[in-house]
Amino acid sequence: MPLLSSRYSVFTPASGGEIPNQGPSDKVTADVLADDIRALIEDLAIKETRRVRESRR
């Protein structure tokens, strides 16, 4: 994301339910992750977003 962060504010949330060194939680679904991201955007009063997926392969 370095190329984007020079021009945009970038945040990369952890994959839903993943706590470093503990792995994913069985209770986190795509809907829960989407709700968390939506709530963050609302709390930060972000007016416009772009979604980009980064591949780490």
Q: What is the model's pTM?
A: 0.58
In a domain, 52, yes or no: no
pLDDT in tens, 2-54: 788 888 888 777 655 555 555 556 677 778 888 888 998 999 999 998 887 76
In a domain, 53, yes or no: no
In a domain, 24, yes or no: yes
In a domain, 36, yes or no: yes
User: Are the beta carbons of 27 and 17 closer than 8 angstroms?
Assistant: yes
In a domain, 54, yes or no: no
Residue 56: its H or E element = none
In a domain, 49, yes or no: no
Total number of domains in the chain: 1
In a domain, 23, yes or no: yes
Domain range spanning residue 25?
2-43
